[in-house]
Structure 1
Amino acid sequence: MKKNKKLRLQYLFQNSFFILLFFAIILLVGVLSNQFVFVKDMTQASRSILTKGSVEILESMNGPINMTVFATNDDANKGDNFRKGLLDFVAKYQREKKDITISFVNPTLEPRLVEELGIRTDGEVIVEFNKRTEHITPPFAEQELTNLLVRLSRTNNKPIMYLDGHGEKNLLGLKNHDLGAFGQQLESKGFKFSNPDLTALNEVPKEGAMLVIASPQVPVTKPEASKILKYVESGGNILWLLDENNFQGLDDLAKYLGLTVSEGKVVDKSSLDFGSSENISYALVYGDHPITKNFMLRTQYSEAHGIFAQGTYENGWAVSDLIEVAPNGWLTSSKKNDEKKLIFDPKFDKQGPINIAVAMSRKYGDVGQRVVVVGNASFLSNYFITSGGNLDLGINMVNWLSGDDQLITIQPMPLKDVNVTIPGDDKGRLIAWTIFHLFQYFIPVGLFGLGFWVWYRRRKA
């Protein structure tokens, strides 16, 4: 069919309208992209978005966060882009919390200010929240900055007291059975420690946030036990970790709490499928409690004991079961010999799942009182602390006991190192140059040429 002048004008109008509409859509998308941000992370290590723990911390922080960066100006010619990299890093936080501001100060131009604020490193950042400040130095990672925000958010500055001198697992110890790694994590989140000498003091200090009793190996003396009982009777919080059913001189405290610990230990033969022994048990089911709310990580325990606490009307304790282990295992009886402990006997053994931890609370004064008892101290030891969610659960317990309920969350994990290392020889440089320019020039030019060829063929048809 022969094209007349009217048909050509119609085609011209249609093409012109399409081009105008196309550029209008591009302009609209550009405007909307400046107003709204949507990020979908496709990386293996989730480098473009924050972890759930960091997001929950930001949601709990009411008030602006101000960041002042003391860094020299970037020199792109020398490959120095520190400021740009930091802006991209902080942008992940700003997407979740809009009132985060960041400003830069060149330390070479403000030497007096640098001296007054104690700046020692190029790139050092002062973070301010609720009139509290902390410094952080490069290199930056999400875990370090989020831990800093946790410390700034903490409302309870009372120290964590721990019982010592009876063979307990030490919060500062370095041995496998000690809790030193857990203690370091608590320190990184703003907690401080106190080790009161109950043989010399008249009472357990009341200015502490809680008292940690980590599985004494020898009996606590009667005067010390009496002071601990009085501390709990007066509203003190405790974290009691038990590796056996022997209360080691704290029987009156256990009676006051209505606490019962099984003589036998948890046996779970299904752990053999994971390459562990039958004395290792795992938990994926947790009680309905603020400590375990939305907690879905697997935790691991060794030779755990069953825990039961009876809330009493006189003391007013509200009791919540926390951790269930060994759904396919059982609680073996101490009446059985070692050879028969690996065989379930309904006459002696209790079928799983077994509860191995309780949380207790009651109204006391204006603040209230909280207690957590776990039938296993090893799960927070240096040996087991990196297993699954053991660290997260331990931190949740301490946060709840200290009254910082808003900080109970899954802790952010460090990002994996997935950087690509390019060989420094000529072949490596050639491959890197080809890949880089393939996406920068060759593919775009090729697609443009292909589009032009298709357009030209259709025009000729």
Structure 2
Amino acid sequence: MKINRKLRIQLFMQNSIFVVLFLALVGLVGYLSYEFHGSRDITQSARNTLTEGSVNVLKQMKGPVSITVYASNDDTYRKGIVDFVTRYQRAKRDIQFKFVNPAENPKQAQEAGVRAEGEFVVEYKSKSEHLLPPIVEQDMTNLLVRLSREKSRNVMFLDGHGERRLNGLKNFDLGDFGKQLEKKGFKLSNPDLTLSPDVPANGAMLVIASPQVDIPEIEVNKIKKYIAEGGNLFWLIDQDSMHGLMPIAEQLGLQLTPGIVVDPMAAQYGGDYKMAFGVQYGDHPITQGFGLRTLFPMARQIDSNGQDRGWTVSHLVDVSATGWLETSPIEGTPKFDAKTDVGGPINIAVALERKIENKDQRVVVVGSGGFLANTFLGNGGNLDLGVNMINWLAGDDNLITIQPRPLKDVNITIPPGDKILAILIFFGFRLGLPIVLLITGVVIWLKRRKR
């Protein structure tokens, strides 16, 4: 075909339009990749992306976060830090991040109070905290939660009557839970109601955790006054743990049905019949989006007719859908008696809320103090549920979230003394597998060449 001047102009126009459209497409793709991010983590435990709990914490943080890492000029070491911080920057674009070499800037490191190589200094809204290595997601997110709290939250717990202590070390106590609360910015205190004229009004809540001896009437009256004036309460009620607290139960309209929850499902998993799995949760900010299994030992049924006293009552946790509330003493294998027992599911936790003097008053009552005890805190979502309850009682609804989970151990453990297995694993992956792949490739290449 003869190319004349007209055809040459047409080809030039077509090529020009193609180039313009191609450049516009590249620009559009670049803009979309800058504005929108998508990724998929296929590693075990999703170790390259943040957990849902961390992402939710970052979403509620309004304003930039500044992270300064004091580390030497070691590219390998710094790369691990960059990869870690990048996971947070993907979820929150205004995280500012920089390195400072302490050897080159000793004065700056000294003024910042840096004590270790690789130390993080995180700043948010004129507040700052330090994080020492090794750095893991759970510690970093807990730090961000503490910085997010607008003011100090004081968690008071009743003491002196054999209660489960928030700073106790025994299996019965709640010490591990108390440590988790401190990591999230709460402060623990145990006011002496025998000396104090009233329950301190500056605390975020009062915790009553299963007293073992009778509480004097004078202390009960102070607690009643605290509740009547709008104080928040977190009450863990075990079997036979009222010990003088019935006036408070009546004040809240609590209905405490005698008996122990029996859960056949727990027995199927090798547990005790007196352990109850929580798998159904109510429609409430504490349990919104919560789908983790929880474990409640020696649980009892809890309900409230607080509506008659101006409270909004919400059921939080139903347990033992295939079980029942056993009202008779349990000996051997329990059996359901339709005449005396209550069929499941059984509600064991309630949340009460009301307005009093332009203030939101909140109460949570759980029919199992053991679910937050040191022995059971690590089971399923017990810790997550407990922290959500405390955050709601403190008014920090935006911090209610599933907590970041520690990564699973992905190391291979070889039994001691099994040298043959160790040799097979080491040389098998380091030499055997590459050789097999090389031979396979050569054989396939030779077969194709003969065709």
Scaled to the shorter chain, the TM-score interval is 0.7 to 0.9
Shift of 1:155: 2.6
- Structure 2 counterpart of 1:296: 291
Shift of 1:364: 1.7
- Structure 2 counterpart of 1:66: 66
Aligned partner of residue 215 in structure 2, secondary structure:
coil
Deviates more, 1:149-158 or 1:316-325: 149-158
* Matching of residue 330 in structure 1 with residue 303 in structure 2: no
Q: State the AA in 2 paired with 1:413.
A: R
Query: Cα 1:167–1:105, aligned 2, differ >3 Å: closer, same or farther?
Result: same
Distance 2:333 2:438 in 1: 70
- Which residue of the other structure, out of 358, 364, 367, is the alignment partner of 1:366? 358
Shift of 1:117: 1.4
Query: Cα 1:347–1:400, aligned 2, differ >3 Å: closer, same or farther?
Result: same
- Which residue of the other structure, out of 79, 99, 114, is the alignment partner of 2:94? 99
Aligned partner of residue 388 in structure 1, secondary structure:
coil
Aligned partner of residue 292 in structure 2, secondary structure:
coil
- Which residue of the other structure, out of 113, 116, 119, is the alignment partner of 1:118? 113
Deviates more, 1:151-160 or 1:404-413: 151-160
Distance 2:434 2:214 in 1: 72
5+ residue gaps, structure 2, are 1-14
- Which residue of the other structure, out of 372, 375, 386, is the alignment partner of 1:383? 375
Superposed counterparts of 1:230-269, under 5 Å: 230-269=225-264
- Structure 2 counterpart of 1:88: 83
Query: Cα 1:258–1:43, aligned 2, differ >3 Å: closer, same or farther?
Result: same
- Structure 2 counterpart of 1:47: 47
- Structure 1 counterpart of 2:38: 38
Distance 1:88 1:303 in 2: 45
Shift of 1:417: 2.8
Distance 1:410 1:276 in 2: 25
- Structure 1 counterpart of 2:338: 346
Distance 1:245 1:111 in 2: 61
Distance 1:56 1:358 in 2: 25
Alpha carbons 1:225, 1:249 under 8 Å: kept: yes
- Which residue of the other structure, out of 131, 134, 143, is the alignment partner of 2:138? 143
Distance 1:34 1:285 in 2: 40
Alpha carbons 1:155, 1:404 under 8 Å: kept: no
Distance 2:217 2:242 in 1: 13
- Structure 2 counterpart of 1:403: 395
Percentage identity across paired residues of the two chains: 49
Distance 1:122 1:246 in 2: 50
Distance 2:413 2:384 in 1: 33
Aligned partner of residue 291 in structure 1, secondary structure:
coil
Aligned partner of residue 301 in structure 2, secondary structure:
strand
Alpha carbons 2:153, 2:185 under 8 Å: kept: no
Aligned partner of residue 44 in structure 2, secondary structure:
coil
Alpha carbons 1:258, 1:311 under 8 Å: kept: yes
5+ residue gaps, structure 1, are 1-16, 76-80
Shift of 1:135: 0.4
Distance 1:330 1:323 in 2: 15
- How many residue pairs get matched? 421
- Structure 2 counterpart of 1:161: 156
Aligned partner of residue 290 in structure 1, secondary structure:
coil
Shift of 1:312: 3.8
Distance 1:260 1:245 in 2: 14
Give the TM-score, by structure 2 length: 0.85
Aligned partner of residue 107 in structure 1, secondary structure:
coil
- Which residue of the other structure, out of 205, 210, 217, is the alignment partner of 2:205? 210
Q: State the AA in 2 paired with 1:346.
A: A
Shift of 1:106: 1.2
Q: State the AA in 2 paired with 1:389.
A: G
Q: State the AA in 2 paired with 1:398.
A: I
- Structure 2 counterpart of 1:12: none
Q: Deviations over 1:418-449 (max 9, x none)?
A: 257999x99988766659989xx979xx79x9
Query: Cα 1:34–1:433, aligned 2, differ >3 Å: closer, same or farther?
Result: farther
